[in-house]
Amino acid sequence: MARIVVIGGTGLIGSKVVAKLTDHGHEAIAASPNSGVNAVTGEGLAEALRGADVVVDVSNSPSFEPAAVMEFFTTSTGNLIAAEREAGVGHHVALTVVGTDRPQEIAYFHAKAAQEKLIRESGIPYSIVHATQFFEFIGGIAATSGDDEVRLPPALMQPIAAEDVATAVARTAAGSPLNADIEIAGPEVMGLDELVRRGLAFRGDARTVVTDPDAPYFGARMQERTLMPVDGVEVFATTLDEWLPANPPRS
């Protein structure tokens, strides 16, 4: 049994990771600002990490504005690494996005790439899990892509259920450090436009999704395969049609 501190353990992925690790007999501790642990200010970090074997970072920035998101991921990761060194933590696991290592102009991805670089250079044994877009993110994508009419490019992707992401992260945290990056994805390739169109249609959302290769995705024009995993990706089973009835997208 390991003592595993989950930074962002109250979030969508974090809460599932804590539950899965606990089910498997580990001592999993959810740490986030709501429980007095703030990775950006450093508040409560030293206490939370005392005696920890593993730290899982599935926190997310409250703001996706370019400067704010870069500040969030670099400051929080720097603070975590320093606290982990102090506490003698033997494995840092982080969740990031497929595509951060490709040429693209998405500010959020640049911030995640900076986070990954700090981890790789930290000297602490690590595992970095790159996930494709979550089905749960459909509402969020729609909300940032237009009002009555949602304009999205047909960039290919292989979206995944948050439950499957949490399975991968929990399994990685319970294993030995990989000192490498891995990719995980769902079972079906589809366009970004198609994902959102199917999600909105399922819940009877009146907005139409217009396919537009020039429409930005989080401020950037997408190439066809920027969001696609590479060979060697681990593919999880849950399909969109299985997921939708149980999980109407959050708006």
Q: Is 199 in the site for ligand NAP (CB under 6 A)?
A: no
Q: Is 211 in the site for ligand NAP (CB under 6 A)?
A: no
Q: Is 33 in the site for ligand NAP (CB under 6 A)?
A: yes
Helical H runs in 88-191?
Answer: 107-120, 138-143, 162-174
- Amino acid identity of residue 102, one-letter, is R
Q: Is 74 in the site for ligand NAP (CB under 6 A)?
A: no
Q: Is 229 in the site for ligand NAP (CB under 6 A)?
A: no
Binding mask 123-152 for ligand NAP (x = CB under 6 A): --------x-xx--x---------------
Q: Are 142 and 108 in contact (CB under 8 A)?
A: no
Give the span between the Cα atoms of 73 and 68, in whole angstroms. Answer: 9
Closest CB to ligand NAP among 99 and 209? 99
Q: Is 34 in the site for ligand NAP (CB under 6 A)?
A: yes
Helical H runs in 121-161?
Answer: 138-143
Q: Is 19 in the site for ligand NAP (CB under 6 A)?
A: no
Q: Which of 19, 8, 14 is nearest to 77 (CA)?
A: 8
Q: Is 11 in the site for ligand NAP (CB under 6 A)?
A: yes
Min. distance of Cβ 125 from ligand NAP in angstroms?
20
Give the span between the Cα atoms of 72 and 76, in whole angstroms. Answer: 6
Q: Which of 192, 193, 131, 117 is nearest to 162 (CA)?
A: 131
Binding site for ligand NAP (CB under 6 A): 7-8, 10-14, 32-34, 38-40, 58-60, 62, 76, 95-97, 112, 131, 133-134, 137
